[in-house]
Structure 1
Amino acid sequence: MNGDEEMPGEPDELADELLAEELRQAAAVWDPVPPELVQSALDAFALHDLDARLAELAFDSLVDALPVRGALDPPRMLTFRAGELTVDVEVTGDELIGQLLPPQSARIELLGGPGHVRPLTTDSLGRFTGDRPSTGPFALRLRTGAEVIVTQWLRA
Structure 2
Amino acid sequence: MNGDERPEGPEEFADGLLEEELRQAAAVLDPVPAELVQAALDAFALHDLDARLAELTFDSLVDALPVRGVTDAPRMLTFRAGEVTVDVEVTEEGLIGQLMPPQSARIEVLGGPQTTHPVIADPLGRFTSDAPPTGPFALRVRTGAEVIVTEWLRA
- TM > 0.5: yes
| Distance change in 2, residues 1:60/1:139 (3 Å) | same
The residue that corresponds to 1:66 in the other structure is 65
| Distance change in 2, residues 1:45/1:68 (3 Å) | farther
Question: Which residue identity is paired with 1:147?
Answer: E
Question: 1:125: how far off?
Answer: 0.2
CA contact (8 A) 1:45 1:114 kept: no
Instruction: Please list every run of 5 or more consecutive structure 2 residues that lacks an aligned counterpart in the other structure.
Output: 1-32
State the aligned residue count.
Answer: 118
Give distance in 2, aligned partners of 1:119 and 1:64: 28
Question: Which residue identity is paired with 2:149?
Answer: V
Give distance in 1, aligned partners of 2:110 and 2:78: 17
Give distance in 2, aligned partners of 1:109 and 1:59: 20
The residue that corresponds to 1:138 in the other structure is 137
The residue that corresponds to 1:79 in the other structure is 78
Instruction: Please list every run of 5 or more consecutive structure 1 residues that lacks an aligned counterpart in the other structure.
Output: 1-26, 28-32
Question: 1:94: how far off?
Answer: 1.5
Larger Rg: 2
Give distance in 2, aligned partners of 1:80 and 1:140: 10
Greater mean alpha carbon deviation, residues 124-133 or residues 60-69: 124-133
Give distance in 2, aligned partners of 1:100 and 1:152: 16
Computed over aligned residues only, the root mean square deviation of the Cα atoms, in angstroms, reads 2.1
TM-score between both structures, scaled by the size of structure 1: 0.69
Give distance in 1, aligned partners of 2:134 and 2:44: 17
- What secondary structure is seen at the aligned counterpart in 2 of 1:62? helix
CA contact (8 A) 1:91 1:132 kept: no
Give distance in 2, aligned partners of 1:155 and 1:71: 21
